[in-house]
Chains A and B, each alone.
Chain A
Amino acid sequence: MAIADAPLTGSRSTGAALLALAIGLFLIVFLVVPVGTVIYVAFTEKGGGGFTLVNFLDFARTDLFVRSFWNSIYVSAMTVLWSSAFALPLAYLTTRFEFRGTALVQTLGFLPLVMPPFVGAVAMQLLFGRNGTVNLLLDEWFDFKIGFMEGLNGVIFLQAIHYFPFILVNLSAALRNIDRAMEEAAQNLGSHGLRLFRRIALPLALPGYVAGASLVFVKVFDDVASPLLLNVKEMLAPQAYLRITSIGIDDPMGYVIAVVLIVIAVATMWASAWVLQGKDYATTQRGGGGLARRKLTRPQSIAAYALVVFILALVLAPHLGLLLLSLATVWSFSPLPDGYTIAHYARVLGDSSVYITNTLLYSGMAAAIDVVLGGAIAYLVLRTRLPGRSALDWGAGAALAVPGVVLGIGYLRAFYGVKLPDGTPLAALWIMIVLAIAIRRLPYALRAAYAALQQISLSLEEAAENLGATKARTVRRIVIPLMTGGLLAGFVTSFATAAVELSAVLMLVQNNSDAPLSYGLYVLMQTPAGRGAGAALGVIAVLIVAICMGASQLLADRSQRARGLDI
């Protein structure tokens, strides 16, 4: 392991400065300005008037908001705990051991993140709800029920299932980057088992874990959908959403909460940077390296498979429910549907091709933008000394906390008045949907890029530069190839979650031919007769993401192997 050394100094090239400027401009135009047009309301008294902080005072004096704030903190922290419990075994077993089905586990373990809006909720209720499959059976056999989905604990249960892939993906990428030699060295010195994990693998993979865990914390803190689908309203993000969408766009309190959410998100990112500060996680050698993974003994292997299957069964239950729902005729107050049909698929098939194309196009473009921006910001922050570089980081991180509906309204405000030559408003172009999604998913790619770069030893770049390579060439030939795994993780996370993004999309979709899958789902779910068809569309969305995931997983493995031979 390289001795800790400070980032390079003096490499303030104009290229980096220009890059920073371009990114800054992008963030200002597509994030700061639109959000600013909405959120300044937090600092004015309702009905006009000058600058005031009285709304923040009201926030602190309202029991409901204070209660919601602590509920949100509690739920977020507990979710991080549970998600870690789900993610750690899956990540460790599949990256550090010879484990058949690694690609499958990684792909399946990622799917919970792709929970289609609305129908995912219905499926969960049908399985785990008060009168869902599990409870109906428990009641029949043993005369008791378990409140999986009741109150805050229900939210924690649901969120942990939903968001643990953030930890899984980032931790796996980090673990994969650790050279086997590190573990071998420790083993030669007599370390094994949990101690080996605790003292070698986990510390070296800490950037990945912290990236994932901080994302989970902020995401859960800012998530609107899951609490609301369990009818838990006394959390901060749902309060903001409910106020903005029901009391109205002029009500300051919704934006006061939005400001609080943004502050918490930035603080979390800052705290996660602080945790990693002053330590060096870089190793000069990259993982894989052609070296063999560790082997499991037979009993170990049986225990490992049992654990993996159990975790996967739990976290994939919602998707099983979704599949059943999409095939069900009527499913009401019974453990399983009354009958099965493929009529729902037939019904959505006609419309869905345009939705699928749009979803792939939008999510793909958004994720590509995110990876480029995220990688660039991570590089600027970690490898240059440009003044104000961390502002880019905080800015992009704050995007995590901007409620989708605020971003959507901000886009309409900022861009609807801008007319194209033929008179159509700028905000009506589909590219605006892409940009909105890209902004909303940027923090995912950014965290992943950050973690990937933190693991690369500076000495590799120094070596290249000593050999005469220019800065640009070093980045191209050394940094980017070594970051590939992390960047890919970022791409996949952004892509998959973008595919089911709804709140901002809903404000921006102007006609059906520009609409992505999530919008089609929303439209279908406005009647009781639509939930089967909605579920069918949801299954299609999940399948698309799964296929793309599997493909990129293969790609990652292949490139890893190819590079393993190169080194």
Chain B
Amino acid sequence: MFRSIALAAALVLVTGVAFAQGKVTVVTSFSKDVTDPLKKAFEKATPGTTLEVQNRNTNAGVKFLEETKANNQVDLFWASAPDAFEVLKAKKLLSPYKPKATGIAEKVGSYPVNDKDGFYVGFAASGYGIMWNERYVKANKLPTPKEWQDLAQAPYFDHVSISAPSRSGTTHLTIETILQGEGWAKGWRTVKEIAGNLRQVTDRSFGVPENVNSGQVGYGIVIDFFAFSSQGAGFPVKFVYPSVTTLVPANIGVVANAPNKAGAEAFIEFLLSPGGQEALLEPTIRRLPVRPETYAKAPADYPNPFKDKNLQGLLTFNAELSEKRNEAVDVLFDQLVTFQLEPLKAATKALHELDAALAKKDNVQARKLAQEARDLIAAMPITDAEAAAPEMRAAFTGGKQKTARQAELEQQWAAFAKEKYAAAKAKAEEGLKLAR
């Protein structure tokens, strides 16, 4: 076994082309729609290899590699969320590989395509935005959104869907993007104002496009390819990138102690090759290639991060900061939004009514109450410094220097949110009496 790997490695060095054979096992969160065409193309381009696809969601995949590392049988890990790769890297479950392919962009948007330490490689990019069902919007006479803030407006009440950031790596990045783009306090204000209009917080990222497609909700906050592949399947949906968004690469990395390292490397090279990149344009896949020349073959309205103005000069995503407060942001969202959705919605509804009344007949006192209610909703139990502090992290990861147990923090934050939302609702109702 070892000798054949050494031999293959030598061949790679000599010829620059991976000499791959046998079974290449990949754990991936991508669906059959994505993996099947790529598997077919890879097996054709590299005769003698078969790609064995194990489908697991990102979290389960990470856990699987962790649980089985003593006797690892997997060659590659292949998924969207860069933070999952950061976790794997930190746990020493990846082995570095530098791709030979040339003509790959250094950055998409403002995010570096590859890991700076070489443990994983970006092969496609994706951005976050808003998708909506045209039939639903038309039937309910609703507006078309452009920015995140639009979703916080009164007409959108009870029409928006999102998946919980603790459940979906992509939503986590969306929230983190808003927090980084607008700052901690203002970012959370935006997030909670949108959250007040939520119909539901789903526990699977796929739940959002599903509900938008079937018309159970009007709008969804999603990663772009959910919308593009829905369009590819014929659903009456539209998608927009708000100006505060970021493009992040979807990645692949070689697992440490891979049984077929040569095969793993061959697959990475294939993904980055012109053929592999073109396969990303298929209607069922619709990821943004990292090879700029590939866009020449794309359909007319395909977004091009290397040319399109709205995708230029996007926010520079700070992965380090995101990593530091990863758990805190997830738990905050769950305790302040997911599990307090009813009180939050009740306060938001009252506030929308107050705003409508004020628009008809202004009242200084009521206006002041409305602002107070807004501030109550936006209030946060911790600052950004506290969220990123090592003691906070320790509470979630089981470190020694922690301030409190996770369950205690959760209860504190939930109680905080419940009290604030109730107070906000009372203020808004008080204002409504004055304004009428």
- Please tell me if the beta carbons of A246 and B330 are within 8 angstroms of each other in the complex: yes
Looking at the assembled complex, report how far the CB atom of A146 sits from the nearest CB atom of chain B, in whole angstroms: 15
Stretch in contact with the other chain, from B3-11, B100-108, B248-256, B409-417: B409-417
Number of A-B contacts (CB under 8 A): 185
**B166 pairs with A333, CB closer than 8 A:** no
CB of A251 within 8 Å of the partner chain: yes
Secondary structure type dominating chain B contacts: helix
> Is the pair B52, A333 in contact by a Cβ cutoff of 8 Å?
no
The answer to the question of B13 belonging to the interface, with a C-beta cut-off of 8 Å to chain A, is no
A253 close to B60 (CB less than 8 A):
no
* Neighbouring B residues of A507 by C-beta, 8 Å: 60, 64
The contact of A63 among B200, B229, B236, B411, by CB within 8 Å, is B411
How near does chain B come to A351, taking the closest CB pair, in angstroms?
8
Given known A122-B214, A251-B406, A506-B60, contact A530–B31 (CB-CB < 8 A): yes
The reply to whether the CB of A474 lies closer than 8 angstroms to some CB of chain B is no
Question: Does A13 count as interface, using CB distance less than 8 angstroms?
Answer: no
In the assembled complex, the CB of B287 is this many whole angstroms from the nearest CB of chain A, namely 12
- Identify which of A58, A59, A234, A523 contacts B31 (C-beta below 8 A): A523
Chain A residues near B200 (CB-CB < 8 A): 231
How many residues of chain B have a CB within 8 Å of chain A? 72
Contact B406 A528 (CB under 8 A): no
A225-249 contact mask (Cβ, 8 Å, vs B): 1 or 0 = 0001001011000100010011111
Q: Which of B128-150 contact A (CB under 8 A)?
A: 133, 135-136, 139
Contact code string A126-162 (vs B, CB < 8 Å = 1, else 0): 1001111000000000000000000000000000000
Surface stretch bound by B, among A185-193, A194-202, A279-287, A508-516: A508-516
Please determine whether A526 and B32 come into contact, CB atoms closer than 8 angstroms. Answer: yes
Of B59, B216, B330, B407, the residue contacting A62 (CB under 8 A) is B407
Known: A125-B216, A507-B60, A528-B210. A47 touches B232 (CB 8 A): no
- Interface mask (A202-236 → B, CB under 8 Å = 1, otherwise 0): 00000000000000000000000000100101100
Contact of B67 among A47, A412, A512, A519 (CB under 8 A): A412
The 8 Å CB contact of B213, one of A54, A246, A332, A511, is A332
What is the size category of the interface that chain A forms with chain B?
A: 35 or more
Among B25, B66, B135, B232, contact of A333 (Cβ-Cβ < 8 Å)? B135
List chain A residues, Cβ under 8 A from B56.
506
CA distance A58 to B406 in the complex (A): 10
- Selected interface stretch from B180-188, B392-400, B427-435: B392-400
**B235 to A131, Cβ gap below 8 A?**
no
The CA of A523 and the CA of B30, in the complex, are separated in Å by 8
Complex formed: what's the CA distance from A129 to B133 in Å? 16
Given contacts A125-B216, A131-B216, A333-B214, contact A527 B71 (CB under 8 A): no
Q: Contact at A245–B52, with CB atoms within 8 Å?
A: no
Say which residue of B55, B166, B202 sits within 8 Å of A231 (CB atoms): B202
CB A290 to nearest CB in B, in angstroms, measures 53
Q: Given contacts A330-B233, A529-B229, list 19 more A-B pairs with CB under 8 A.
A: A58-B411, A63-B418, A131-B136, A228-B203, A248-B63, A332-B215, A333-B136, A425-B68, A425-B71, A427-B68, A511-B25, A523-B55, A525-B31, A525-B206, A526-B32, A528-B210, A528-B233, A529-B232, A529-B233
